[in-house]
Amino acid sequence: MNSKKRLLSGIQATGKIHLGNYFGAVKNWVAMQADYEAFFMVADLHALTTAYEDGISIKNNSYEVIADLLACGIDPNQAALFIQSKLPEHSELHLILSMITPLPWLERIPTYKSKREEIKDKDLNTYGFLGYPVLQAADIMVYQANVVPVGKDQAPHVELTREIARRFNFLFKTEFFIEPEEKFTQFLVIPGTDGRKMSKSYGNAIYFADSEEVIKDKVMKMVTDPARQKRTDVGNPEICPLFSFQEIFNPDLAAEISEQCHKAGIGCVDCKKKLLGKMNDFVAPIREKRERYILDKSNLDDLINIGTQKAKVVARNNLEKVKDIVKI
């Protein structure tokens, strides 16, 4: 028996991994993988709830994300790393859970309302989109995960998972499902190149797949303190997105840069140049690794298979028990 607690987390397959994903989630996954029996998945079915006509790009992105995760340090010998749709157990449990999940529980989930308002170019008035958090509950429950490391925005989904688990146990007079706990990992929200939260949908993200030239271009165009119009204007690092990057990539120089910025001793262009070298030192080895994974497709497939098999043993077993309990 494995005495470690079980951990599951997932990332949507809507795009490749960017620095915001890394500092908001993936870095923590890497740090936690040794202490838990860890399951990390690429949520391609979740991506399909909003991008249902973009199967091909979701499929391509899933491979790219797996390569990114491996390059960032997820160890396939330690954690189970897999793509959600390769395990039909998730979909099957999702369907069973959907039978007992009251509609009002789903309608009041904040992400349901906000995403529907945000994504205007797609008809999200669908059964699948409303069921997004039920699928997420199935992801967690099919492994009986104890711990779910997520950003704060995902807390209502883990809360719903607990409610569904409780309701299942109550209705079927069982204690089968445990109640998972969220573990917040968003200790660093890193801004995008326009100063808003880094996000694929804002087009302000810096990816591990970006070449050195692309990153240079993005950084040189990056927004800084808007009050600093001229080189002689003094700046305020506290509200400058560029400075948030300096704190992450250039911690030894950050205090000095801040002081100089306050008295217009350093300009934004020079500040960006100081960042670029450091950022590239960090990104380059990960970029090289991810490229090697992408080029060796059969190795990548092997690694995905290993993760899928590991996950399958647990998911299959739990799903069979659920079916017994439900008596089907």
Q: Are 185 and 155 in contact (CB under 8 A)?
A: no
Task: Enter the tokens of residue 127.
Answer: 């059964």
Helices (H), the chain: 19-21, 27-32, 44-50, 55-72, 88-100, 103-107, 110-118, 127-130, 132-141, 155-171, 212-220, 241-249, 251-262, 268-295, 297-326
**Min CB(12)–ligand TRP separation in Å:** 5
**What is the side-by-side order of every strand in the sheet holding 6-12?**
80-83, 37-43, 6-12, 147-150, 181-184
Q: Strands 181-184 and 6-12, how do they pair?
A: unpaired
Residue 136 in the binding site for ligand TRP (CB under 6 A): yes
Residues 6+ apart with CB under 8 A from 315: 87, 89, 90, 142, 143
> From the list 10, 20, 76, 241, which residue makes contact with ligand TRP (rule: CB under 6 A)?
10
Taking contact as CB under 6 A, which single stretch among the options 67-75, 117-125, 135-143, 208-216 is the one that binds ligand TRP?
Answer: 135-143
Residue 148 in the binding site for ligand TRP (CB under 6 A): yes
Residue 140 in the binding site for ligand TRP (CB under 6 A): yes
Residue 144 in the binding site for ligand TRP (CB under 6 A): no
**Min CB(71)–ligand TRP separation in Å:** 20
Q: What 8-state DSSP symbol labels residue 70?
A: H
Instruction: Give CA–CA dist 81/311, Å, rounded.
Output: 8
Chain position whose Cβ is nearest to ligand TRP: 10
C-alpha atoms less than 13 angstroms from C-alpha of 5 in its C-beta half-sphere? 13
Residue 318 in the binding site for ligand TRP (CB under 6 A): no
Residue 65 in the binding site for ligand TRP (CB under 6 A): no
> From the list 7, 12, 42, 143, which residue makes contact with ligand TRP (rule: CB under 6 A)?
12
Nearer Cβ to ligand TRP (139/225): 139
Nearer Cβ to ligand TRP (10/15): 10
Nearer Cβ to ligand TRP (8/58): 8
Taking contact as CB under 6 A, which single stretch among the options 2-10, 101-109, 232-240, 255-263 is the one that binds ligand TRP?
Answer: 2-10
Residue 154 in the binding site for ligand TRP (CB under 6 A): yes
Residues interacting with ligand TRP, by CB under 6 A?
8-12, 43, 46, 136, 139-140, 148, 150, 154
